[in-house]
Each structure stands twice: as C-alpha cells, then as structure tokens.
Amino acid sequence: MLMILSILLFLNIGGPELFVIAIAVLLLFGPDKLPGIARTMGKFVREFKDAMNGVQDEITQAMKEPLEELKKPIDSIHQDIKSINTENINPEVTEEKKESSTEKPI
C-alpha cells in the first residue's frame, strides 16, 4: 500500500484525481470484480517486492566474496604495521629518549 501511495505522490495525483480514477474503475469492472482485482494487484505487488528482495540479496552475496578477498591482504598489512616496533622506524629518537632517561638529575 505504501508503494502505491509513493507512486501516486510521484505522479502528483491528489484526492480529486484519485476519486475520478476509482469511479472509472468501478464503472469499467463493476462492484463484483473489484475485490478480485484488488486481490490480484496485491499478489502482484507482493511478488514484485519478493523479486526485488531476491535481486538485492544476490547482489549483496555477489559483492561479499570479492570484498572478503580484498580484506585479507589489507588486514595482513595492517597487522604488519602494528607489529613494527617504533625503534625500527626511527632509532635516533629512541636513542635520545634512552640517553635522557639514563642521565641523573642534578
């Protein structure tokens, strides 16, 4: 129902236009066939939504595997960076810190 309302808002159909459409449908199909038509439209909308969800799930699943493959090397590089000690990166700075900590205060 929400989908139908959003379509009607998109098409800029207001109350009077919707009333005219309802009267036209009632005149074309009659009151006996309206429940069947409404039921058929409901089934169509449900099947359409199910199909859209299925397509969305397939796309998500198809993208998940390549992303996992890309994530493995990135995680490996991230772990390598974490494991590198700061002494290996800039030994001069660490030597200055060691010297300043070994000096006795006056």
Model confidence pLDDT, tens digit, residues 28-84: 888 888 889 889 989 998 999 999 999 999 998 888 888 888 888 888 888 887 777
Q: Is residue 32 part of a domain?
A: yes
Backbone angles phi, psi at 85, to 5 degrees: -85, 145
Number of domains in the chain: 1
Does a structural domain hold residue 12?
Answer: yes
| Tens digit of each residue's pLDDT (9 = 90 or more) over 6-22 | 665 666 777 788 788 88
91 part of a folded domain: no
* Domain enclosing residue 33, as ranges: 2-85
Quick one: how many helices (H) and strands (E) in the chain?
A: 4, 0
pTM: 0.45
Residue 101 domain-assigned? no
Show the tokens assigned to 64: 């998940």
* 106 assigned to some structural domain: no
Question: What average pLDDT does the segment 75-100 reach?
Answer: 65
Alpha-carbon gap, residue 77 to 83, rounded angstroms: 10
Instruction: For residue 102, count other CB atoms closer than 10 A to its CB.
Output: 7
d(CA 77, CA 86): 16
Q: Please indicate, yes or no, if residue 95 is contained in any of the structural domains.
A: no
Q: Tell me which amino acid residue 99 is.
A: E
What's the confidence (pLDDT) of residue 80?
80
